[in-house]
Amino acid sequence: MVDKIVLGVESTAHTFGVSIIKGFSVLSNSRRLFTTNKGGMIPVKVAEHHIDVCDDVLKESLDVAGVKLKDIDLIAFSSSPGIGHTLRIGAVFARILASKLDKPLVGVNHCIAHLEIGRILSGLQDPILLYASGANTQIIAYEAGKYRVFGETLDIGIGNFIDSFARELGLGFPGGPKVEELAKKGKKLVDLPYSVKGMDVSLGGILTNLKKKIDSKLFSKEDLCYSVQEIVFAMLVEVTERAVAHTGKTSVVLGGGVACNSRLQEMTRLMCEERNIKFFCPEKQFLVDNAAMIAITGLLIFESDGCISIDASFIDPYKRTDEIIINYR
């Protein structure tokens, strides 16, 4: 395991990434992001973007790593969950490389990969993951052979929620960083629904409430951004804390683009300090969608389960985290 060189491919959504790792050391982590000036992600357009950039990203990643294609021992690609159109591009890219180089291939679940990279980088054995990204919002932890989802959004992902709110405010995409900047200037906590249902959160109703408040012009952008962060992040941290209490686990790691938010990091860290458990937040390049986490998880899977044949290298846009049997833990 120590010396194996793995090439990872990420393509579940807006990011096309290629990473090279040696053992668990990340040698390169290249990526290109699909962006728009106006409007959101149209799957066919994002897939075209990935096709356009894939050769460049591969070349850059190999150059940065100082590795030649012939040195690669294993190819890992994100096989679930995600946008079908874009998953397929990464899968085809990985299959071509595997067959051309005659190297083994493994498929990786993207959500689990966010947890594994936090685990490997931190050295924590068994953390709970608060995964807060555009489309996904889940609290994930290992129990009895699987990664279980202890809590999640019942409707939209936290990042998509923040982006929709930002769009209503006319802030453009992606809205998260802009909302964070404005929130720093907010002072007044505006009353918003606090929507935790059991172990899950619901964000759609808060968005409707916010739209009405924006239309009313009674509230400043700064106060709305501040209040959104305070209330919605508190909901996520509450559910994470209850997952900690339920499982008895002694550490929490963050993952996903929304976890780049310093207030979410602070609130999660404070909760961990109060409970006297460990907290780890990966650096930004490993929080957002990245191929290094796919390579790392691919290596773990390969060492325990071996590879898959090209014929069996399916993608599954809807596969859930808790459907996957984990043999390496």
CB of 285 to ligand AMP, least distance (A): 12
User: Is position 261 an interface residue for ligand AMP (rule: CB under 6 A)?
Assistant: yes
Q: Exposed, middle or buried, 161 (CB in 10 Å: 0-12/13-18/19+)?
A: buried
Tell me how far apart the alpha carbons of residues 314 and 329 are, in angstroms, rounded to a whole number. 24
Q: Which stretch binds ligand AMP (CB under 6 A): 100-108, 137-145, 169-177, 213-221?
A: 169-177
User: Is position 260 an interface residue for ligand AMP (rule: CB under 6 A)?
Assistant: yes
| All residues at 6 or more sequence positions from 322 whose CB lies less than 8 Å from its CB, including other chains | 146, 147, 148, 149
DSSP for 111-149, written as a single string: HHHHHHHHHHHH--SSPEEEEE-SS-EEEEEEETTEEEE
Consecutive H or E run containing 30: strand 25-33
- Closest to 99 in 3D by CA, of 292, 293, 313: 313
User: According to CB under 6 A, which residues from 106 to 165 bind ligand AMP?
Assistant: 133-134, 159, 162-163
Interaction partner, residue 180 (Mg ion, ligand AMP, none; CB < 5-8 Å by kind): ligand AMP
User: Is position 268 an interface residue for ligand AMP (rule: CB under 6 A)?
Assistant: no
Buried-exposed string 2-19: b where 16+ CB fall within 10 A, e elsewhere: eebbbbbbbbbbbbbbbb
Q: Which is nearer to ligand AMP, 173 or 219 (CB)?
A: 173
Tell me how far apart the alpha carbons of residues 8 and 50 are, in angstroms, rounded to a whole number. 15
Sheet holding 105-109, edge to edge: 25-33, 15-22, 5-10, 74-80, 105-109
| All residues at 6 or more sequence positions from 82 whose CB lies less than 8 Å from its CB, including other chains | 11, 12, 13, 110, 315, 317
CB of 250 to ligand AMP, least distance (A): 26
Interaction partner, residue 162 (ligand AMP, Mg ion, none; CB < 5-8 Å by kind): ligand AMP
| All residues at 6 or more sequence positions from 212 whose CB lies less than 8 Å from its CB, including other chains | none
For Mg ion, the binding residue among 163, 223, 241, 289 (CB under 5 A) is 289
Q: Which stretch binds ligand AMP (CB under 6 A): 137-145, 147-155, 237-245, 256-264?
A: 256-264
For ligand AMP, the binding residue among 256, 271, 279, 319 (CB under 6 A) is 256
User: Is position 289 an interface residue for ligand AMP (rule: CB under 6 A)?
Assistant: yes
Q: Taking a C-beta distance cutoff of 8 angstroms, is the pair 10, 289 a contact?
A: yes
Q: Which is nearer to ligand AMP, 182 or 307 (CB)?
A: 182
CB of 301 to ligand AMP, least distance (A): 22
User: Is position 180 an interface residue for ligand AMP (rule: CB under 6 A)?
Assistant: yes
For Mg ion, the binding residue among 11, 61, 78, 133 (CB under 5 A) is 133
Q: Which stretch binds ligand AMP (CB under 6 A): 37-45, 210-218, 254-262, 312-320?
A: 254-262
CB of 132 to Mg ion, least distance (A): 9
Residues near ligand AMP (CB under 6 A):
133-134, 159, 162-163, 174-177, 180, 256-258, 260-261, 288-289
Residues near Mg ion (CB under 5 A):
133, 289
